[in-house]
């Protein structure tokens, strides 16, 4: 049975060809007068003329623009602080992210920081302190994280020797409006496209692997996973196919706006373990999930055999009467899908060292309440380490 829930999606989606061209008119309707545009200074933004075009759409409607680039993948707290300072000094009343999850998350943190008197990192340490965010728009160029309509912002604190990567946010952190034009994603290289597809795949899994079955949400989740297994390889083969890019873009949004997760416990261990790999080695987020994901499955399936057997049968159409054999075949099929997308499924395949796994296991537990995460099996520090060990080869 589902728990009671409220689900206010809040984000207004403008999807399709030329979607971004209405950005000026839409922001004006929302009452913006001075807009802080943030981006990652990516080459494609200049080569395609997208950045200049967006600025023009906004200034043509009589709004002023302030700009801050330089967002790095696994975005840093230092740039968030810089953004807050700039936004406050300039008196901006709207923020616009042009990019993927790192840019959107930086903007969310800047928007929250502008509405908070203390240091913005307080909001990561204590999420109850998040009360408000400046209105945020997104021109999505990289479908992956679903941050264009999710509640969280994942930020790396680069103050100390080791980066601490964690999330902050809440319901008021969903963007107000998101412009999603699949054509803007044609320039994404294969590796990033694959990382995006696998990130959204795992966003669905984190919700699907729940002790609570709920027919409509389970069927939706299984359908979305099957669509990714179908369109993922197709989009790698034909990067400028509008239909395939549209499929991927919209799945990315649904995968993380909680449509398939409301009212039931969610797992999030694959993300918890993956974030530590990014914090340590700056690995692309999607690839961290394919490194640990299948090994998390291997570690927890015995406690949840029926659920894993259903996953194998419904998502990969595995025809096997024995539940345990089916579950194992599903885990293997997942690994094969990640490999087909060209992503690593172990530290070794990713070419990463493994001398940091004790630190990562500790850190993954340390940032969770009571040091525990997960709903399929509660993981403590020693479990985290065991999964990292399984992920070595
Ligand atoms: O700078 P260049 O070389 O151009 O590369 C950019 C960028 O560095 C490239 N890119 C984006 N759009 C492009 C493009 N290249 C060519 N054509 C385009 N159209 O993509 C590179 C990576 O972008 P980034 O924003 O870092 O990727 P992603 O969207 O995967 O974001 C990752 C961050 O989001 C967090 C992750 O942990 C990670 O920090 N997440 C945020 C979530 C959320 N807020 O809800 C949930 C996720 O689970 C995730 O944790
Ligand atoms: Zn993710």
Pocket probe mutation, ligand 1, options 69, 147, 367, max atoms within 8 Å of Cβ? 147
- Quick one: pLDDT band at residue 159, thresholds 50, 70, 90? confident
Residue nearest to atom 46 of ligand 1 (CA): 145
pLDDT level of residue 163 (50, 70, 90 thresholds)? confident
pLDDT digits (tens, 9 = 90+) for 218-259: 999 999 999 999 999 999 999 999 999 999 999 999 999 999
Residue with CA at minimum distance from ligand 1 atom 45: 147
* CB of 13 closer than 8 Å to CB of 180: yes
12-184 has CATH 3.40.50.150 classification: no
Same fold for the pair 12-184 and 190-390:
no
Ligand 2 centre to CA of 343 (Å) is: 15
**pTM as predicted:** 0.97
Confidence of residue 369 (pLDDT cuts 50, 70, 90): confident
Would you state the pLDDT for residue 162?
Answer: 66
Ramachandran sector of residue 35 (left: φ over 0; alpha: ψ -120 to 50; beta: rest): beta
Average pLDDT score over the chain: 96
pLDDT band at 1 (very low <50, low <70, confident <90, very high): confident
pLDDT exceeds cutoff 90 at 52: yes
91 with 133: CB under 8 angstroms?
no
Architecture (CATH level 2) of domain 190-390:
Up-down Bundle (1.20)
Break the chain into its structural domains and give their ranges.
12-184, 190-390
Torsion of CA 189, 195, 201, 206, to 10 degrees: -160
DSSP string across 255-276 = HHTTTTTTTS----HHHHHHHH
**Tens digits of residue pLDDT in 175-185:** 999 999 999 99
């Amino acid at each position: 049975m589902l728990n009671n829930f409220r689900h206010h999606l809040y984000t207004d989606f403008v999807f399709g060809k030329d979607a971004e061209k209405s950005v000026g008119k839409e922001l004006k309707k929302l009452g913006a007068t001075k807009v802080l545009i943030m981006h990652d200074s990516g080459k494609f933004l200049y080569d395609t003329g997208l950045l200049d075009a967006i600025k023009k759409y906004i200034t043509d409607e009589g709004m002023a623009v302030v700009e801050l680039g330089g967002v790095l993948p696994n975005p840093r707290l230092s740039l968030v602080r810089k953004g807050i300072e700039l936004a406050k000094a300039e008196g901006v009343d709207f923020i616009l992210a042009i990019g993927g999850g790192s840019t959107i998350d930086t903007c969310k943190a800047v928007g929250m920081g502008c509405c908070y008197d203390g240091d913005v990192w307080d909001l990561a340490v204590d999420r109850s302190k998040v009360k408000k965010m400046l209105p945020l728009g997104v021109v999505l160029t990289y479908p992956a994280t679903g941050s264009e309509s999710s509640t969280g912002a994942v930020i790396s604190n680069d103050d100390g020797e080791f980066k601490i990567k964690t999330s902050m946010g809440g319901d008021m952190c969903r963007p107000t409006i998101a412009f999603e034009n699949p054509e803007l994603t044609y320039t994404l290289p294969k590796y990033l496209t694959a990382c995006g597809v696998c990130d959204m795949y795992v966003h669905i899994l984190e919700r699907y692997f729940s002790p609570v079955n709920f027919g409509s949400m389970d069927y939706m989740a299984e359908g979305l996973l099957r669509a990714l297994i179908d369109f993922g390889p197709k989009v790698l083969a034909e990067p400028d196919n509008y239909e395939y890019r549209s499929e991927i873009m919209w799945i990315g949004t649904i995968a993380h706006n909680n449509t398939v997760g409301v009212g039931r416990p969610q797992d999030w261990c694959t993300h918890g373990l993956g974030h530590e790999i990014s914090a340590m080695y700056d690995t692309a987020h999607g690839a961290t999930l394919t490194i640990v994901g299948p090994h998390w499955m291997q570690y927890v399936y015995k406690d949840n055999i029926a659920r894993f057997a259903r996953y194998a049968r419904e998502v990969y159409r595995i025809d096997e009467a024995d539940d345990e054999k089916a579950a194992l075949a599903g885990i293997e099929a997942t690994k094969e899908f990640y490999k087909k997308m060209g992503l690593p499924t172990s530290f070794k395949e990713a070419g990463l060292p493994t001398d940091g796994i004790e630190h990562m296991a500790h850190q993954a537990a340390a940032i969770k309440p009571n040091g525990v995460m997960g709903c399929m099996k509660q993981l403590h520090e020693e479990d985290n380490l065991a999964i990292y060990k399984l992920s070595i080869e």
